[in-house]
Structure 1
Amino acid sequence: MNCIVIEDEPLARTEMETLILEVSDLELSGTFSNVPTAQLFLKDHKVDLIFLDIEMPLVSGIEFAESLPKDTLVIFTTSYPQYALKSYELEAIDYLLKPIIKTRLSKAISKAKLYHHLLTNDQQKNVLASSNSEFMMIKADRKFHKVMYADIKFIEGLKDYVVLHTKYNKLITAMNLKTIHLKLPSSIFHRIGKSYVINLNHIVSFDHHTVYLDDDDEIPLGEVYKEAFFERFGVNLKN
């Protein structure tokens, strides 16, 4: 899997290059100071993943991401948290705030590799087989898996797929997040963002931006979902 970096600040660009090489086995195919030079490169080269700054001269990272094909994955790297919601709307793989921490970068790259694997492997479509009050049957890897609702920590949407993060493993199935959410008991599960449904029983704490689950999972709380989530716990959003 290869990648490029688009970052207008020289020091930040060098630091990003160093971090990528330290925490992953990605093939770094190039680094660019602006979008137009990267676009020239992309005319003749296939790139799997782009680490993309947002506020840049000539063309912004957001504008560029909107023009990319579906199979080009994006991880935004920026100093500005206000673009997080827009990044989720664009279905970016992740959104990293500078200064970028190695562990966060490694986690983002792992997610990108997972989705890249889904895109590049002709897998049999996985479908929801059935459900009842305590568990659901999920078809993944050509087998039916009995998944207890209590064991699901959260479900992550990755474009045309969902990833069930359970206490024991991860299961990937070809389905959108809305479809699987409708099959889940609303007494236990709550959608908190464009890409996430969580099991309320696994919540440790939350603030205005993040829901913290056990095992140190941190899930972003979407702006349009925030009010309903706070109301569910009887918490005043203004507090």
Structure 2
Amino acid sequence: MKCIIVDDEPLARQEMQALINDVSDLEIIGSFSNAPAALKFLKINSVDLIFLDIEMPMVTGLEFASQLPEDTLVIFTTAYPKYALESYELDAIDYLLKPIDKSRVQKAINKAVTYKKLLSAETEKNTIESNTGDFMIIKSERKFFKINFADIKYIEGLKDYVVIYTGNQKLITAMNLKTIHQKIPNNTFLRVSKSYVINLNFIDSFDHHNVYLGENEVPLGEVYKKDFFRIYSGGSLNIE
């Protein structure tokens, strides 16, 4: 995969380049101090993944990301947690907070590689074959997998695909998040952001920005926050 780095701080660009080279075999084909320079480069070069700062002069990372083609993946890199929810609205692969930990970079890159394969023309489009009161059947790589609804921790959406996470497996199917949400029990599964549906039974804790399911952290979108607090707490918590 080919990637570029966009950050107005020279030291941050150097550190990100070192981290990428240390944990992956991504090909870094460009490094830019501002979005307009990166956009000019993209007009004549193909890029799979962009490591993108947010607070930059002239054009912010969020504004830049909104102009990118759908098949260009973005990992935001920033010192400010306040943009996390907005980044997920732009279908960002991940959101890395500075100073960035090596293991988080590796996790984000692995996720980007998985999605790139998923979105490629060669990837088989898996389908949900059927669902009953307790489980659904998903066809994947010429096999049929039974997934009990009770085992699903959360479902992540990316464009026209969803990734279903259970305790011991991850299955990908060609379907948007809204459609699959309609096929699973609505008394157990709740949409908490544009990109996530969670199983309420797996919630360990939550705050005003995230829901925590064991070691998994799911962002809580502003549009969905009020319903989440009302449904999960029975209206007894004050979200202000």
TM-score, normalised via structure 2 length: 0.94
Equivalences for 1:78-97 in 2 at 5 Å? 78-97=78-97
Equivalences for 1:1-239 in 2 at 5 Å? 1-214=1-214, 216-232=215-231, 233-234=233-234, 235-238=236-239
**Whole-angstrom distance in 2 between the partners of 1:145 and 1:121:** 23
| 1:124 to partner: Cα distance | 3.4
Contact 1:126 1:174 in 2 (8 A): yes
SS in 1 for 2:211: strand
Which amino acid letter does the alignment assign opposite residue 236 of structure 1?
Answer: L
**Off by >4 Å, runs of 4+ in structure 1:** none
**Whole-angstrom distance in 2 between the partners of 1:106 and 1:124:** 25
| 1:90 to partner: Cα distance | 1.4
Q: Which runs of 5+ in 2 are unaligned?
A: none
**Whole-angstrom distance in 1 between the partners of 2:25 and 2:199:** 33
SS in 1 for 2:69: coil
| 1:44 to partner: Cα distance | 2.6
The alignment-based identity, stated in percent, is: 63
SS in 2 for 1:71: coil
Which amino acid letter does the alignment assign opposite residue 237 of structure 2?
Answer: N
| 1:84 to partner: Cα distance | 2.1
Between 1:195-204 and 1:227-236, the stretch displaced more is 227-236
Which amino acid letter does the alignment assign opposite residue 19 of structure 2?
Answer: L
Contact 1:75 1:108 in 2 (8 A): yes
**Whole-angstrom distance in 2 between the partners of 1:224 and 1:164:** 22
| 1:167 to partner: Cα distance | 1.2
Which amino acid letter does the alignment assign opposite residue 86 of structure 2?
Answer: K
Contact 2:135 2:149 in 1 (8 A): yes
SS in 2 for 1:85: helix
**Whole-angstrom distance in 2 between the partners of 1:220 and 1:179:** 20
**Whole-angstrom distance in 2 between the partners of 1:237 and 1:48:** 43
Between 1:137-146 and 1:188-197, the stretch displaced more is 137-146
Contact 2:153 2:167 in 1 (8 A): yes
| 1:70 to partner: Cα distance | 0.8
| 1:168 to partner: Cα distance | 1.6
> How many aligned residue pairs are there?
238
Deviations 1:32-69 (A, max 9, x none): 11122222322332110000111111222122111111
Q: Which runs of 5+ in 1 are unaligned?
A: none
Between 1:116-125 and 1:129-138, the stretch displaced more is 116-125
**Whole-angstrom distance in 1 between the partners of 2:225 and 2:162:** 22
Contact 1:227 1:237 in 2 (8 A): no
TM-score, normalised via structure 1 length: 0.94
